[in-house]
Amino acid sequence: MKRGLGGAVIVVVLLFATLFPVLWTLLSSFKTLKDIVTPVPTLLFQPTWQNYADVLATPSVQHGLTNSAIVVGCSLGVGMLLGVPAAYALVRHAPQLKSDVLFYVLSLRFMPPVAIAIPFIVIYTDLGINDTRFSLILTYCLTTISTIIWLGVPAFEQVPREIEEAASLEGYTEFEVFRKVALPVAIPSLIGAILFTFVIVWNELLIALSLTSQNFTLPVVAASFTTMGMEVPWGIINASTILLALPPFLFIGVIMRFLNRFFRAAH
Amino acid sequence: MATIDIEKFVKQYGPVRALHAVDLHIEDGEFVVLLGPSGCGKSTMLRMIAGLEEISGGVLRINGKPMNDVPSRDRDIAMVFQNYALYPHMTAYDNIAFGLRRLKVAKPEIDRRVRQTAELLALGAYLDRKPRQLSGGQQQRVAMGRAMIKTPQVFLFDEPLSNLDATLREQLRVEVKKLHMLLRTTTVFVTHDQLEAMTLADKIVVMRDGHVEQIGTPREVYYAPASLFVARFIGSPPMNLLPMQVAPNGMQLAADGLVITLDPERAADLHPGQLVTLGIRPKDLRLAHLQSGTDRHSATVMLTEMMGAETLMQVRLGNTELIMLVDDRDTAVTGSTIEIAFAPEGLRLFDAATGKAIASRRISRVA
């Protein structure tokens, strides 16, 4: 198919509009404050690591990074441990429940996060676990388990039933069939599902903002930079934004591959 | 090695009954083909033997032991699937070795047996490949290797050749036959292809709508079909079937000016006025000068199809179109009139009302 010149122009304009802020953030994160606030933007400047050093030296950032790693790691771990077998069980053992369960699971994601957060604050306060990593992990598990189930079901549906039957005729138990046949065949799609879930919880701001004041996560810290004092620390904001975006960025290629597979399978 | 006994097999899917109390006995080492159109219940029956479908009613015994509640992994059965069902994440080698690994067979022994099996199936060069790098025929060979290597008690084949092109199908059919002659493992093979059934089977089970229509050797089902359904299903070109009525003298069949005289033994089973269907294989319609001692009928040649050594002729006899298969040297020109005769030993009679063969038992002895 030949694209006209007009189409090419639109693509370039859109790409520029989308990527330029990201690029500018990246550049600014290596600039001194003087270079950032200068009225005439500079493209040639003396790069500095100072912003990154400052960000990483900030206690709240260290604290937030630790919290984010623990909270996201644990909730993702629980999500995989429960979500993957649940998706398999739905596909193979309760197909009649599949559409209802999937809708329920998806409907958890329809709700505005704040609507979830307020009742949770009440419950967690009553239980005496409000503003702990544990309560945040518990809340995030809702997201991780439901998202992994939702994306795991099509992953297991792609596994031909016959190969599982063949394995069971070769003497393997149901669990062994799951572990040695279904899981390895579904794993490329499942990895995509897990990474996608990771990005969702890693970037989550609203629930974390509502549920924590001491045990905040990295997005909360990054958001708080914008409201610090009179002089806006642009360099630090830019550096922390890049740091925050880095882990999801590293996975983006893998996720793109996953989405390709997902949509190609749907057609 | 195993015998299989199936007693009153019933399969119920909600209100739908897919199998109606089917009985079947399979001898040790026998090659049995379940044959029928799609939806006749043949695959369901196979999957019930494998333990992949629940048995709604009846008993399955292998070597005399009831198997209904034994899970498929403990039945010592190997199955080859229509779509091969190879493990896509494993190489051909690992696909074949997978079952032995479960049995904790020693590594060198696994290697020896995999290579031996691969040799037998001409797969040696492909063992390192993943299934998607193999052609359909090679994939099905790997699937057969995977089934063979465990030396199971029973082999099940679920339409294993129907996804292959004609040449490959023929090749693999021969290989299946050779393997069975070599291993002598009790085998149940499902197909809708009557030629496959005829060439492979020791015993054919013709099925229709969840019922068994006939169980017999390929010769029996070909020469002495138990019903009109079997007569239509088996044989290519198909058997000629003519609706007729028994004449008042009880010795002749008549329809549309066509009169066929029966031998007295055959006529004894009929009563005057009875409506019957006369069946005759295209090969048993002869040119009159080659067949002595029977009535001759004038027929017009409508169409001839040269098929090699033989020629298929479509002829019109009165208002009936018949197909005959003659030696190519005896073929007649389209439009010409020829004299034909019905070979008496080829006549098959079916009750028009029930569709069942009349006196098929006596004829099957002839066959």
Interface residue B286 vs chain A (CB under 8 A): no
**What is the average pLDDT across A170-190?**
91
Q: What is the pLDDT of residue B278?
A: 92
Q: What is the pLDDT of residue A156?
A: 95
Pick from A162, A168, A184: CB nearest B73: A168
Interface residue B180 vs chain A (CB under 8 A): no
Contact B87 A185 (CB under 8 A): yes
Residues from chain A contacting residue B99 (CB–CB below 8 Å)? 170-171
Q: What is the DSSP string of A68-94?
A: HHHHHHHHHHHHHHHHHHHHHHHHHH-
* Residue A58 banded pLDDT, cuts 50, 70, 90: confident
Q: Which amino acid, residue B269?
A: D
* Residue A9 banded pLDDT, cuts 50, 70, 90: very high
Residue A253 has pLDDT above 50, yes or no: yes
Contact A165 B81 (CB under 8 A): yes
Contact B146 A166 (CB under 8 A): yes
- Interface contacts (A, B; CB < 8 Å): 56
Smallest CA–CA distance, residue A152 to chain B, in Å, is 18
Residue A85 has pLDDT above 80, yes or no: yes
- Number of Cβ within a 10 Å radius of residue A70: 16
pTM, entire model: 0.81
Pick from A163, A168, A176: CB nearest B87: A163
Q: What is the pLDDT of residue B288?
A: 86
Q: What is the pLDDT of residue B164?
A: 87
Q: What is the pLDDT of residue B294?
A: 74
The more confident residue out of B116 and B293 is: B116
Q: Whose structure tokens read 């029996």?
A: B220
* Bridge partners, A114 (sequence order): none
CA distance B98 to A171: 10
Residue A41 has pLDDT above 50, yes or no: yes
CA distance B119 to B95: 15
Residue A176 has pLDDT above 50, yes or no: yes
**What is the average pLDDT across B187-203?**
95
Q: Quote the tokens at residue B75.
A: 């039945």
CA-nearest residue to A174 within chain B is B73
Q: What is the pLDDT of residue A111?
A: 77
* Residue B366 banded pLDDT, cuts 50, 70, 90: very low
Across chain A, mean pLDDT equals 85
Residue A3 has pLDDT above 90, yes or no: no
Q: Whose structure tokens read 């549906």?
A: A157
Interface residue A93 vs chain B (CB under 8 A): no
Contact A168 B146 (CB under 8 A): no
Answer yes or no: is the ipTM higher than 0.95: no
CA distance B200 to B354: 30
Q: Quote the tokens at residue B306.
A: 């040269």
Question: How many angstroms separate the Cα of A206 from the Cα of each of A20, A115, A226, A256, A258?
Answer: 26, 10, 16, 26, 27
The more confident residue out of A202 and A41 is: A202
Interface residue B72 vs chain A (CB under 8 A): yes
* Residue A125 banded pLDDT, cuts 50, 70, 90: very high
Contact B85 A168 (CB under 8 A): no
CA-nearest residue to B158 within chain A is A162
Give me the sheet containing B240-246, strands edge to edge: B258-261, B252-255, B240-246, B275-280, B348-351
- Number of Cβ within a 10 Å radius of residue B265: 9
Residue B362 has pLDDT above 60, yes or no: no
Interface residue B74 vs chain A (CB under 8 A): yes
Most confidently predicted of A52-61, A78-87, B265-274, B314-323: A78-87
Using an 8 Å Cβ cutoff, are B53 and B47 in contact?
yes
Report percent pLDDT > 90 for chain B. 68
Q: What is the pLDDT of residue B227?
A: 94
Smallest CA–CA distance, residue A216 to chain B, in Å, is 42
Backbone angles phi, psi at B358, to 5 degrees: -100, 125
Q: What is the pLDDT of residue B80?
A: 94
Contacts of residue A137, Cβ cutoff 8 Å, sequence gap at least 6: A70, A71, A74, A75, A78
Interface residue A184 vs chain B (CB under 8 A): yes
* Residue A116 banded pLDDT, cuts 50, 70, 90: confident
Q: How many CA atoms, within 13 angstroms, populate the side-chain half-sphere of residue A247? A: 18
* Residue B59 banded pLDDT, cuts 50, 70, 90: very high
**What is the average pLDDT across B145-168?**
90
* Residue A110 banded pLDDT, cuts 50, 70, 90: confident
Contact A171 B78 (CB under 8 A): no
* Bridge partners, B303 (sequence order): B314
Contacts of residue A161, Cβ cutoff 8 Å, sequence gap at least 6: none
Give me the sheet containing B211-216, strands edge to edge: B77-80, B154-158, B186-191, B31-35, B203-208, B211-216
Residues within 8 A of A (CB atoms), B 345-364 only = none
Residues from chain A contacting residue B71 (CB–CB below 8 Å)? 168
Task: Among A30-34, A177-181, B236-240, name the one with the lowest average pLDDT.
Answer: A30-34
Smallest CA–CA distance, residue B75 to chain A, in Å, is 8
For residue B358, what is the DSSP state?
Answer: S
Residue A182 has pLDDT above 60, yes or no: yes
Interface residue B14 vs chain A (CB under 8 A): no
The more confident residue out of B127 and A47 is: B127
Q: What is the pLDDT of residue A263?
A: 57
